[in-house]
Amino acid sequence: MTTQIWELIDPRDFADGVFYVPAMLELQPRLPHWGHPDQPGLRDRLATADRPHGVRGKKLLCLLCMRIQAERNLPPEPVWLTFVEGRYGPMFRHEGGRSPHPEHQPETDIHKALKERKARTFDAAGAIDVNVEVWRPKARRRPDVLAVGPELTVAGEVQHSAARAREIQSRQKALRKAGDRVVWTTDLPAADIGFMHLVPHLALPTVGDHRYYLREPKVNLIAGAIVLERRRCGWADLWTGTQRCPATRKAIPCGQWHLYPTYDPRDRFAFPNHVDARFPATDRPHLDHLLEGILHGSWLPYRHRNRVTWIPAKEYDQLVAERGGNVDQAETANVRRSDRPAGRACEDRTSPGIPAQRDAPAVERLATCCGGRTPGRHGAPLVPACLLCPKSPTYWRRNELNPEGTQD
Lowest mean pLDDT among 127-131, 317-321, 398-402: 398-402
Can you give the length of the chain in residues?
A: 408
Which pLDDT value is given to residue 48?
76
pLDDT level of residue 96 (50, 70, 90 thresholds): low
Q: Which one has a higher pLDDT value, 61 or 369?
A: 61
Which pLDDT value is given to residue 399?
66
Question: Best-predicted range by mean pLDDT among 101-110, 295-304, 363-372?
Answer: 295-304
Q: Which one has a higher pLDDT value, 284 or 367?
A: 284
Which pLDDT value is given to residue 360?
46
How far apart are alpha carbons 140 and 179 in whole angstroms?
13
In order of 112, 270, 302, 374, 382, the CA distances from 377 in angstroms are: 67, 43, 40, 8, 9
β-pairing, 201-203 vs 299-304, is: unpaired
β-pairing, 81-85 vs 90-94, is: antiparallel
Which pLDDT value is given to residue 184?
93
In order of 34, 83, 101, 246, 401, the CA distances from 28 in angstroms are: 5, 13, 12, 49, 81
**Does residue 310 surpass a pLDDT of 90?**
yes
Which pLDDT value is given to residue 335?
64
Which pLDDT value is given to residue 350?
47
From the centroid of its chain, how far is CA 362? 38
Residue pLDDT, tens place only, 349-362? 444 444 444 554 44
Which pLDDT value is given to residue 309?
93
**Does residue 77 surpass a pLDDT of 50?**
yes
Which pLDDT value is given to residue 364?
41
Instruction: Write the CB contacts of 6 (distance below 8 Å, at least 6 apart in sequence).
Output: 21, 61, 66, 76, 78
Lowest mean pLDDT among 11-25, 200-214, 391-405: 391-405
Residue pLDDT, tens place only, 20-66? 888 888 888 777 777 888 887 787 777 777 777 767 778 888 888 88
How much of the chain exceeds pLDDT 90, in percent? 14
| Mean of per-residue pLDDT scores for the chain | 79
The stretch 275-285 carries a mean pLDDT of 75
**Does residue 200 surpass a pLDDT of 90?**
yes
Lowest mean pLDDT among 48-57, 73-82, 287-296: 48-57
How far apart are alpha carbons 282 and 298 in whole angstroms?
16
The stretch 373-399 carries a mean pLDDT of 73
Which pLDDT value is given to residue 86?
63
From the centroid of its chain, how far is CA 150? 22
In DSSP terms, 300 is beta-bridged to: 311
**Does residue 371 surpass a pLDDT of 80?**
no
Tally the C-alpha atoms within 13 A of residue 205's C-alpha that lie toward its C-beta. 12
Lowest mean pLDDT among 66-70, 204-208, 240-244: 66-70
SS3 state of residue 62: strand
Q: Which one has a higher pLDDT value, 294 or 87?
A: 294
In order of 8, 274, 276, 298, the CA distances from 293 in angstroms are: 47, 7, 11, 5
Residue pLDDT, tens place only, 209-262? 889 999 998 898 888 898 888 888 888 898 988 889 988 888 888 888 999 998
pLDDT level of residue 161 (50, 70, 90 thresholds): confident
Nearest-10 Cα torsion for 154, 315, 246, 286:
-60
SS3 state of residue 327: helix
How far apart are alpha carbons 299 and 311 in whole angstroms?
6
Contact between 244 and 328 under an 8 Å Cβ cutoff? The reply is: no
How much of the chain exceeds pLDDT 70, in percent? 80
β-pairing, 181-186 vs 201-203, is: parallel
pLDDT level of residue 166 (50, 70, 90 thresholds): confident
**Does residue 345 surpass a pLDDT of 60?**
no
Which pLDDT value is given to residue 185?
93
